[in-house]
Structure 1
Amino acid sequence: MPELLNSHKIPKIYVYTEPQYKTAEWEGKRKGQGFLKIGFTTGNVENRIRQQFPTNKPVDNPFEILLEEVAIRKDGTFFSDKDVHRILRKNGVEERTTQGKHTEWFECTLEEVEQAIFAVKNHKTTFTERRMDFAMRPEQAQAVKVTSEYFKNFSYEREHKTPHFLWNAKMRFGKTFTAYQLAKKMGWKKVLVLTFKPAVQNSWETDLVNHVDFADWQFVCRTGTQYKDIDPKKPFVWFASFQDVLQKTDAGGIKPRNEEIHCINWDCIILDEYHFGAWRDSAKDLYDAEDKAEQKKQAGDGLEYYDEEQMPLTTSAYLYLSGTPFRALNNGEFLEDQIFNWTYTDEQREKNNWDEKQGENPYLELPQMVMMTYQMPEEIRAIALLGEYNEFNLNEFFKAKEEGGLCKFAHEAEIVNWLNLLRGQYKPSTLDELKIGKKPPMPYSDIRLLSALSHTFWFLPSVASCKAMGDLLQKHPFYKEYKVIVCAGNEAGMGVEALEPVRRAIGNGFDTKTITLSCGKLTTGVTVPEWGGIFMLRNTSSPETYFQAAFRVQSPWTVRNPDGVNPNEKKIVKDTCYVFDFAPDRALSQIAEYSARLNAASKESPEKRVEEFIHFLPVLCYDGSTMELINASELLDLVISGTASSMLARRWESALLVNVDNPTLIKLIENDKAMEALSRIEGFRNLNKDITTLVNKSEALKKAKQENKEDLSKQEKKQLTQEEKEIKSKRKEIQEKLLKFATRIPVFMYLTDYREQTLRDVITQLEPELFQKVTGLTIPDFELLVSIGIFNEQIMNSAVFAFRRYEEASLSYTGLTKHQELLVGGFNTKLPRIEVENLGR
């Protein structure tokens, strides 16, 4: 090692400019502006630059440091500024000279300097636009490994369908980079990326055009390089909006700009942000608060849902990407060997367990999340208690409407009280609260929270409520110190356009304070590192919506070389981020549902998954008197005890309990014994005929759509649309018939007292006669239907545990201790009681 490094001095290349040179026009042959000084030091960069200013300047900082970079190659050798100068000159960059002498001032951009440094580090002599050379993290490499093995071992002749695979991976997994690595591994040359959120285009393009691993790849998109302009011999990625590609013209044909997409036989079609494509159920809740123009642009007129079987494109493989693909998992669209899972729990576990011998911890900069829930004071809650169960309704509380061009809250006085509550300045009026004498940590009063919340995101119910809140904050004596960005409505811009005002307001993040108000924009596909907390101020029953928004604040915020000592060192500015919720029942329910569904392939019980999840995402609950950290058992008890028995019963009416997609129904038709079993149940006599008709019509419709796409008359198209409606209606009818069977299972739970066994064991081994009397099915019949996949065991398991907990809570409340078994059974799994009682403690 050279003596320079042995003396503990680190060689650095630095770049700076001065105010008078920042926008000065270039004087040489090239057109541009801005002169940059490129130097070298082994000491403090700022001190070294100041040495170049022998006389005091009229300003404190007469220069602006633009870059500090360690001047060490990967092989351990170091280089100097002279090496960088040489590369710049070789590539046509001109240096300013004084009387023929070098000045180290160059007419170039900062990007060109970065390209020159990258070239020197990699022993190259020419510029390259590709300066990213990081390797895959362990989980990314594992995703490529298992996915490529699945695709390579898949047999189309055996399965009679195109293979598909799902990456259930949270934000910050690095899906674009990893997907491209999979493409290289598979030897793909033609990849189509269809996204349900066009705002993510930048991340797909950046990784492909900037990383050295994809030097030969080309990026095609509507707003950039066109397909006709690429080299057909080199691999390419075509990025497009799902809505744009699959929507038809007014005449029913393919849009002219998308004709090539339909003609190419793709190696793989990647569907990004797939949770937005599950239109069948209530995934439109992801857009439900956004303005109509945004909905139209993102969801598309007349586009009801995505169906792989009716895809009008040809491909050898499908790859689905989503951080919250719960509907796809619940609907049985993917089998266990077709899913790679990477969750928040996985990430934080690796962060905690990283072995420093392996090098720098790649997860260290990913902040831990903390949820804080608050029970509103009674006098504030009272005005928004609605519904059958008299629950606090956030949409009602923050309801606003526009009058005369101004937006105003319906309950403005109470919202002012709430804003004061966040400051810790709202005075409680109940005797119990006064007796306690303890104040919970409030977001804008507790010093520990206040320092972390310079920049926050407030998720509100509507455009009107965002505008009303913006006006209210700007008039408030405390919040007016914050720059408030109303990111809602047409005037805020669509998709990624809405991000620019936020970025401008935040600036460097250190000397500004901001509050961003939104009802849908910027909740997916964007990164704002400075956001330290999110306020969930609207109703949502969808864990997709809730956690897609919540994970916005988990983006890393780091700065490089903040103290000038080690330029290769990054300082983590944000190691913790916060989710604030003022409807505790809703918040805890979302946590329970999300954590239990994170990994559909997990063999652990839902309770165990909740326990591990809140170990890494602590939940603090303020119940009106004290704020306590709760454990998994307490969380689930609160969720269930706050749920009426009638609501539990409705779990057994959920459409998620049964699978009625074509592959499952075909399996059912092809199994004579299964069809006979169903026919023996009252109400299922004609099911055989109904299912056969449904499958045949679906296949015929699919074939008709794929053929003669452009040759159909208006009457034929109308007929196809009518047939599609009939198929949907028939599928729903079959689903409802199967659900009638599922609704009988709670009756069986009430009649049996074998709590220590799984319900499936009770059914098949302990009380088969009772089960047959209640449901009409014999045990062999039941086992057969379960094996075919008609019933969703995962959802049934969750519903059984919910019943067990509700029953247990009810008995404990009355002072009874009827059940003391060592085990508690779900539908197909069981857990030691002592483990349940000690979860999280």
Structure 2
Amino acid sequence: MQKWLDLIRGAFMPTSVDNLKLGAQKPPMPFSDVRLLGVLSHSFWFLPSVAACHAMRNLLAKRQNRFYHDYKVVVAAGSAAGIGVAALPPVQEAMDDPLTTKTITLTCGKLTTGVTVKPWTGILMLRNSSSPETYFQAAFRVQSPWTVRNPDGASPNEEQVIKRECYVFDFAPDRALRQIAYYSCRLKMDERNPEQKVAEFISFLPVLSYDGSSMKQIDAAGILDMAMSGTTATLLVRRWESALLVNVDNDTLKRLMANEAAMKALMNIEGFRNLNQDIETIINKSDAVKKTRKEKNDEEMTEKEKKELTEAEKEYKSKRKQIQEKLIKFATRVPIFMYLTDYRERCLKDVITQLEPGLFKKVTGLSVKDFELLVSLGVFNSALMNDAIYKFKRYEDASLSYTGINKHEGEDIGLFDTVLSAKDYQALIECVAEMP
């Protein structure tokens, strides 16, 4: 739970490097993104039990969570909180003047129905719920309009809208989307098309999903796909367009430059022409910029030096981005290869290097030897490729058994450079499905 608290405020170290790679595309976390920080002054956290609420309050009070000390934490759970609306006054007292205070309300059921707390702008779903009604009754707590009449004290007829947006954060996408699919399909019984029902519902409640590489809005078809299989075709495709799949840091580029065979291999990928020169520019200029910034601060530099430094930064960042995009273009061909090969039980690396090297070269333009070399130099992120391939195989399962016959049943499932047994694969699916 401590890691999760670090994550939502953008301080979880394992994701820091990924966030730097993603740049402006990094996911907006509730308590780190500037667009959300100003909105989420008062949030509502829906936890599984009374004990969980008290444990969360104690954790938020710990020294390492100094960031959350700016928020008054109210536990609206257990007999001490009162019955029904009796749990509301402590929340209102903590808010006082809600425009100047910050609060976090922890609950496991109280205040999720029959009350209106206008300053709540976000709810964090941190529990499982088999009932869509319970889920959305809680979610709708943050939808209450919040306006202030006579905001400047001199305009009695003027009304200022304080709450222009509100958010539901759920860290188990499968759970959230299943609830949306089920709830929206039950709202309008006379409409037979489930996609139309979901589309109408999400026109009022847009859904954004972060899949580990990018955050995108999901349409009705995507929600139904994801509710059934855990992901969508669109998200699968975008996963292979992620900047995280390839490494273009200086260390990797230096290893590439030092290896003539690797450079020749990359030149075989469409779009790589002046690769050697581009990599040299990136390394030299980025090192020069770092050295200059280390030796001088902005105040010590002349306007000319600042301008030259800015131009150098722009140039090497642009070239790095170009190389990254070209490598991603290669990565997007991997799903095509997976569609064309029938070896699900072998890890993709083995299929490429041992079983179907000819097909791989036709699809990607790289020989097996070249591919192995680039992997060994760390150009491709094998851990994320494993994850992307796992999602692909899981999504593919439905199409392999829709007739009731699955010729791959009981076989091992190959990822990028590892293989899961059928038992482990099924256990992983069940674990993901049950994830809170």
Given the alignment, which residue of 23, 37, 40 partners 1:290? 37
Matched to 1:753, the amino acid is D
> Residues 668-703 of structure 1: CA distance to partner in whole angstroms, max 9, x if unpaired?
112221111111222212222211111111111111
Q: TM-score, normalised by structure 1?
A: 0.31
- Give the Å deviation of 1:655: 1.3
Q: 1:649 to 1:591 in 2, by over 3 A?
A: closer
Look up the match of 1:659. Answer: 247
Look up the match of 1:729. Answer: 318
- Give the Å deviation of 1:729: 2.0
Look up the match of 1:831. Answer: 420
Alignment partner of 1:491 is 2:80: no
Distance 2:383 2:228 in 1: 18
Matched to 1:836, the amino acid is Y
Look up the match of 2:233. Answer: 645
Given the alignment, which residue of 275, 279, 284 partners 1:691? 279
Alignment partner of 1:781 is 2:370: yes
**Mapping 1:135-534, distance limit 5 Å:** 170=3, 274=13, 278=19, 280=23, 281-285=25-29, 286-287=32-33, 288-291=35-38, 452=78, 479=85, 482-483=88-89, 484-485=91-92, 491-493=99-101, 498=102, 518-519=120-121
Alignment partner of 1:757 is 2:363: no
SS of the residue aligned with 1:491?
coil
Q: 1:583 to 1:701 in 2, by over 3 A?
A: same
- Give the Å deviation of 1:660: 1.3
Look up the match of 1:803. Answer: 392
SS of the residue aligned with 2:36?
coil
Look up the match of 1:700. Answer: 288
Look up the match of 2:334. Answer: 745
- Give the Å deviation of 1:481: 5.6
Q: 1:643 to 1:293 in 2, by over 3 A?
A: closer
Distance 1:826 1:487 in 2: 50
Does the 8 Å CA contact 2:268/2:365 hold for their aligned counterparts?
Answer: yes
Matched to 1:733, the amino acid is Q
Does the 8 Å CA contact 1:290/1:520 hold for their aligned counterparts?
Answer: no
Distance 1:546 1:659 in 2: 30
Distance 1:643 1:585 in 2: 15
Matched to 1:676, the amino acid is K
Q: 1:272 to 1:682 in 2, by over 3 A?
A: closer
Distance 1:660 1:169 in 2: 31
Distance 1:805 1:492 in 2: 48
SS of the residue aligned with 1:712?
coil
Look up the match of 2:409. Answer: 820
Deviates more, 1:831-840 or 1:799-808: 831-840
Given the alignment, which residue of 676, 685, 698 partners 2:264? 676
Matched to 1:707, the amino acid is E
Distance 1:521 1:488 in 2: 20
Distance 1:642 1:293 in 2: 29
Q: Please identify which structure carries the higher strand content.
A: 1
> Residues 268-311 of structure 1: CA distance to partner in whole angstroms, max 9, x if unpaired?
xxx965567946232444323232899xxxxxxxxxxxxxxxxx
Does the 8 Å CA contact 1:760/1:828 hold for their aligned counterparts?
Answer: yes
Distance 2:313 2:2 in 1: 33
SS of the residue aligned with 2:420?
strand
Does the 8 Å CA contact 1:683/1:737 hold for their aligned counterparts?
Answer: yes
- Give the Å deviation of 1:813: 3.1
SS of the residue aligned with 1:170?
helix
Distance 1:715 1:283 in 2: 36
Q: Please identify which structure carries the higher helix content.
A: 2
Q: 1:823 to 1:454 in 2, by over 3 A?
A: farther
Distance 1:759 1:479 in 2: 57
Does the 8 Å CA contact 1:487/1:516 hold for their aligned counterparts?
Answer: no
Distance 1:582 1:481 in 2: 27
Distance 1:289 1:582 in 2: 20
Does the 8 Å CA contact 1:291/1:490 hold for their aligned counterparts?
Answer: no
Superposition RMSD in Å: 4.8
Does the 8 Å CA contact 2:345/2:413 hold for their aligned counterparts?
Answer: yes
Distance 2:311 2:180 in 1: 40
**Mapping 1:85-104, distance limit 5 Å:** none
Matched to 1:290, the amino acid is L
> Residues 354-400 of structure 1: CA distance to partner in whole angstroms, max 9, x if unpaired?
xxxxxxxxx9x968xxxxxxxxxxxxxxxxxxxxxxxxxxxxxxxxx
Does the 8 Å CA contact 1:660/1:735 hold for their aligned counterparts?
Answer: yes
Distance 2:233 2:124 in 1: 38
SS of the residue aligned with 1:819?
coil
- Give the Å deviation of 1:767: 0.8
- Give the Å deviation of 1:719: 3.1
> Residues 804-823 of structure 1: CA distance to partner in whole angstroms, max 9, x if unpaired?
11111123334342323521
Q: 1:726 to 1:838 in 2, by over 3 A?
A: closer
> Residues 473-510 of structure 1: CA distance to partner in whole angstroms, max 9, x if unpaired?
xxxxx6586134496998334xxxx35x979xxxxxxx
Distance 1:586 1:488 in 2: 34
- Give the Å deviation of 1:707: 1.6
Distance 2:28 2:326 in 1: 26
Distance 1:776 1:836 in 2: 31
SS of the residue aligned with 1:660?
coil
Q: TM-score, normalised by structure 2?
A: 0.57
Distance 2:273 2:424 in 1: 45
SS of the residue aligned with 2:300?
coil
Q: 1:779 to 1:582 in 2, by over 3 A?
A: closer
Distance 1:488 1:720 in 2: 49
Distance 1:489 1:680 in 2: 64
Distance 2:286 2:319 in 1: 11
Q: Which blocks of at least 5 consecutive residues in structure 1 are unaligned?
A: 1-167, 176-195, 198-270, 295-362, 368-449, 456-477, 504-512, 524-532, 551-578, 595-636
Counting aligned pairs with the same residue, the percent is 44
Q: Which blocks of at least 5 consecutive residues in structure 2 are unaligned?
A: 42-51, 57-75, 107-114, 126-134, 143-165, 182-206, 213-224, 432-436
Does the 8 Å CA contact 2:122/2:167 hold for their aligned counterparts?
Answer: no
Does the 8 Å CA contact 1:758/1:830 hold for their aligned counterparts?
Answer: yes
Where relative contact order (Cα < 8 A, 6+ residues apart) is larger, the structure is: 2
Matched to 2:282, the amino acid is L
Look up the match of 1:219. Answer: none
Q: 1:638 to 1:644 in 2, by over 3 A?
A: closer
> Residues 583-622 of structure 1: CA distance to partner in whole angstroms, max 9, x if unpaired?
44799x999968xxxxxxxxxxxxxxxxxxxxxxxxxxxx
- Give the Å deviation of 1:647: 2.9
- Give the Å deviation of 1:522: 11
Does the 8 Å CA contact 1:482/1:514 hold for their aligned counterparts?
Answer: no
Does the 8 Å CA contact 2:246/2:379 hold for their aligned counterparts?
Answer: yes
Q: 1:582 to 1:788 in 2, by over 3 A?
A: closer
Matched to 2:3, the amino acid is K
Matched to 2:400, the amino acid is L
> Residues 181-204 of structure 1: CA distance to partner in whole angstroms, max 9, x if unpaired?
xxxxxxxxxxxxxxx97xxxxxxx
- Give the Å deviation of 1:834: 3.6
Distance 1:640 1:785 in 2: 36
Distance 2:292 2:427 in 1: 58
Q: 1:653 to 1:593 in 2, by over 3 A?
A: closer
Matched to 1:291, the amino acid is G
Does the 8 Å CA contact 2:236/2:388 hold for their aligned counterparts?
Answer: yes
Distance 1:772 1:521 in 2: 49
